[in-house]
Amino acid sequence: MNALISRELRRRSLQGVFSMYLAMKLSLTSSFSPNRTTFVIPTQPSVSWLRQSYFPNRDLLFFRERTSFEVTSRLLNIALRAFIQTEDYAGVYVVLRTFGIFRLPVSTKTYLIVTRHIIKRLRWDISKAYKVEEPRWGNLFLGIPEVWALHKLNKQSDRELVEKILASAAWSDFPLTGPLLGYTSEDEKVAYTTPTTAMINGEAVVPERMRFHLLPLQRIIRRAILASAAVDSDDLPAAKRVSRAIVEAKAQMFPGTEHPYTTND
């Protein structure tokens, strides 16, 4: 069935893809259910034309008690990449939580997927900041209300931005709103372990017993969710806007009546 789905994708037949996937989802036998290969298919270069508006990414992370594949860090990193490429940050957050649910280690690869995307999006907004009057996603994510101030970050390297973002996310107290870049890794309030930029980029070896915390990545993504929600702002407080987006994503990805690992936010 996975081979047939791949063929339909190459033919750009969305109807064929969805029909086959639906048949797999409704199958009563584990051997015919979506497996790890099914989740990898949408990330293949040959189907890069597929966009979030066409493919039910959240539905593809649908775990059932009869699931026939093993959930691993590698599989979750694949799912993480798929969600973050479509800027579905609530979906990204739920994938990150799944690392904790299954007690899987967070690697430098996981940090690379998140930080690379965040920096890429920030760079885009920084490059456009001098042309617009309204705050962009980058302003909202970094807590910089002035559009001109965002453009000034063009002088900072990607490495510097990543280091500052991770330093902020590693603090014991992390703001959901307000300035994000006012922290350093040498501050006494650092409470969580994150990899260095050299480790993330593969330039330094990770010590054998070093373990990285999941929470800093979750914090970063919560800011990303809020920045996206603020573009279509409503009257809800910031924390409730983020929680609502996460709850909606979790309900789609892990239906409470069918998923044995349902947890509260």
List Cα–Cα distances, 117 to 40, 86, 87, 122, 221, in angstroms: 19, 10, 9, 9, 11
pLDDT band at 45 (very low <50, low <70, confident <90, very high): very low
CA distance 206 to 144: 33
243 within domain boundaries: yes
Whether 147 is covered by a domain: the verdict is yes
What pLDDT, on a 0 to 100 scale, did the predictor assign at position 127?
87
Percent of residues, the chain, with pLDDT higher than 90: 37
Q: Is residue 210 part of a domain?
A: yes
The answer to the question of residue 67 being in a domain is: no
The boundaries of the domain holding residue 105 are 72-253
Assess if residue 264 is contained within a domain. Answer: no
Record the pTM: 0.74
* Least confident span in 22-36, 69-83, 94-108, 122-136: 22-36
Q: Is residue 5 part of a domain?
A: no
Looking only at Cα atoms, what is the longest distance across the chain? 57
Task: Please state the domain count of the chain.
Answer: 1
